[in-house]
Amino acid sequence: MEKVAQNSEKIKLATVWLAGCSGCHMSFLDLDEWLFELVKYADIVHSPIADIKEYPENVDVCLVEGAIANEENLELIHKIRKQTKFLISFGDCAVTANVPAMRNMMGSNNADTVLRRSYLELGDITPQLPKASGIVPELLEKVMPVHEVVKVDMYIPGCPPSADRIKAAITPLLEGKMPLMEGREMIKF
Ligand code: SF4
């Protein structure tokens, strides 16, 4: 089986925050002092906690938090897939679309409905649709889990996944090995 990285090399590790609440990244930070261990074996090349704006090329492993809910998410997930060897769907929003997908149940025109509710009906100071000002990306009509858009190599469910579960998933990768998850704790395809 192909190794993610050679033994002598550091893994290029990325984490990405799409349509999620950032709770999965908070759980990642719950790794606490083990993060010092992590950076011995991995360079964090992109992450909201590292504030690196552009997604780089030749990433070994990427943890993707959140669903695909807007045009920006859609464009970025295709770029991530193209530039990443091993893509992990990280947390229930990425795995099932979870909370962000609740608006799917409102049927057609749901994007317009939630925008109007949030920015016009509840906008008590200067009500205006963000589309008109160009501040936020356009919402998709259907919120999707990551695997509906691109191929996913591994799933880490949980809302959020515990730090122990994240650690168990990442540890084999740091040794240049593919993850070997047993039981129902993690799902690897
Ligand atoms: Fe937040 Fe849960 Fe979604 Fe993670 S899976 S981004 S904790 S709502």
Is ipTM over 0.90? Answer: yes
Task: Report yes or no on 133 lying in a domain.
Answer: no
Whether residue 20 has its Cβ less than 6 Å from ligand 1: yes
Whether residue 70 has its Cβ less than 6 Å from ligand 1: no
Residue-number span of the structural domain to which 169 is assigned: 11-99+142-188
Distance 97 CA to ligand 1 centre (A): 9
Please give the share of the chain, as a percent, with pLDDT higher than 90.
Answer: 66
* pTM (2 d.p.): 0.90
Whether residue 66 has its Cβ less than 6 Å from ligand 1: yes
Q: List pLDDT tens digits, range 52-89.
A: 789 999 999 999 999 999 999 999 999 999 999 999 99
- Please give the torsion angle defined by the CA atoms of residues 76, 82, 88 and 92, in that order, rounded to the nearest 10 degrees: 30
Task: Report yes or no on 112 lying in a domain.
Answer: no
Distance 144 CA to ligand 1 centre (A): 14
Q: List pLDDT tens digits, range 107-142.
A: 999 999 999 999 899 988 889 888 666 777 999 999
Q: What is the Cα–Cα distance from 176 to 118, expressed in whole angstroms?
A: 46
Task: Report yes or no on 171 lying in a domain.
Answer: yes
Whether residue 60 has its Cβ less than 6 Å from ligand 1: no
Domain CATH for 63: 3.40.50.700
Task: Report yes or no on 157 lying in a domain.
Answer: yes
